Structure 1
């Protein structure tokens, strides 16, 4: 449902996908950059962040203990700067056959200790592989959130595939920058359809840097969402769903 030019500000914004921890993946390079990213996030209205460093099989991944220690360090620095942001622990997990085993053993972080896991795939992975992988995760008792669904060719080429995994019970995360068209008009139109059908569960920044195109900016996206879509639904995808399910 469209609401013309009606606009409001979000009471909170939960960034469920963010590479803000310093020096452990391809995100923030050091604490100085992390603090700059946090300042941007604060100015954008972000109140809660789930830090989701990459976990890739065969790579040198930071342990959950290391991630936890970094979150404590970053939280202390954020508090000293009076930024009013609360951080939580997660991982962005590139799907691999031992994913569930890694979560079971504690080598991979769930989203804030819940049964939710943020899972990504390669952009060219075929639909049946993605579907079967998500089904396996669910069969092991975990709730998958598929990261940046707009990056997978099989989803963009056939929106029915997104509808199908949504109906399976998979939750859908999209990037704020993609909603604004930063990766192309076709992707923007694809996401408009998902939003119109209320298929999206979470909007995240997937930010990696304090400058350039991958910063934790979300306010412009939030303003546009409130202008075009049902207000309660926008509340839900910016913070309500995350508050209820993850935090």
Structure 2
């Protein structure tokens, strides 16, 4: 028997015509960083994600030396509990373990030691930079990560003023093999006009490889923090991209290759 409208609303089911996607960047694990603070909020975030069209999220708690230090085992344990709670709540949302690693001197060493959770154990790290610049140690660390066999996906490059104001550096990162993940909220102005302009440029130039909500809250977008419902941003992305809706298909196909180890 089909679900009633009230049952679908309780689960956060998306409209039938909504694009189904993977949210590559989501702070959905409670008590690990500055993301959701409780399991109830994690469930609320999951409902918002499903309503938006997500069928999978990658759980990416911050890894920042001296601030947040979740290890792969800790992250996977939380992911298992979240999956159980989602099943109990009747929410159909796959969850893949990952992390958002603040690039620092010694990050490659931690990767080689197995201390960093890659996205779905694929060897690809979601990496964050300081917000204003490309630090002096970045090039050597990126080289060291590449030499160690790691793939690097740069989280929200559009929010880094130093990158957005220097296209040469953006190009250099691409030459290093770095892939770009933009925050959906950047396309709707959630992070300011400069980040929005940079995100739009990256979309138009075909330089967006992945999309994430960077959700830290179970509340709807615009209420508090960054929410998981990115449907408005996806519609804007389709309008901006020269390839239209095919661009979203390309991004999702890339996610599937990433998770299957074929990227």
The TM-score with structure 1 as length reference comes to 0.90
Structure 2: distance between partners of 1:100 and 1:133: 6
Distance 2:35 2:190 in 1: 19
Tell me, in whole angstroms, the C-alpha distance in 1 between the residues paired with 2:200 and 2:70: 36
1:45 aligns with 2:50: no
Greater RCO (Cα-Cα under 8 Å, separation 6 or more):
1
CA–CA distance in 2 between the matches of 1:110 and 1:126? 22
Shift of residue 128 of structure 1? Answer: 5.0
Q: What is the alpha-carbon distance in structure 2 between the residues aligned to residue 156 and residue 60 of structure 1?
A: 27
Which of 227, 235, 244 does residue 249 from structure 2 map onto?
A: 235
The SS at the match of 1:206 is coil
Q: Which residue of 2 aligns with 1:3?
A: none
Structure 1 ranges of 4+ moved more than 4 A: none
CA contact (8 A) 1:163 1:199 kept: no
Please name the residue that 1:159 is paired with: 167
**Separation in 1, partners of 2:134, 2:177:** 19
Q: Tell me if structure 2 keeps the 8 A contact 1:37–1:209.
A: yes
Deviation at 1:144, TM superposition (A): 0.5
Aligned to 1:136: 144
SS at match of 2:90: coil
Quote the residue 1:28 is aligned against. Answer: 36
Distance (whole Å) between structure 2 residues aligned to residue 98 and residue 160 of structure 1: 25
Paired residue for 2:213? 205
Render the CA deviation track for 1:156-195: whole Å, top value 9, x for unaligned. 1112321221132110011000011222223222211111
The offset of 1:60, in angstroms, is 4.7
Query: What is the alpha-carbon distance in structure 2 between the residues aligned to residue 191 and residue 131 of structure 1?
Result: 23
> Could you tell me how far apart the structure 1 residues matched to 2:112 and 2:137 are?
22
| Alignment pair present for 1:79 and 2:87 | yes
Please say if 1:193 is aligned against 2:234. Answer: no
Backbone CA RMSD of aligned residues = 1.7
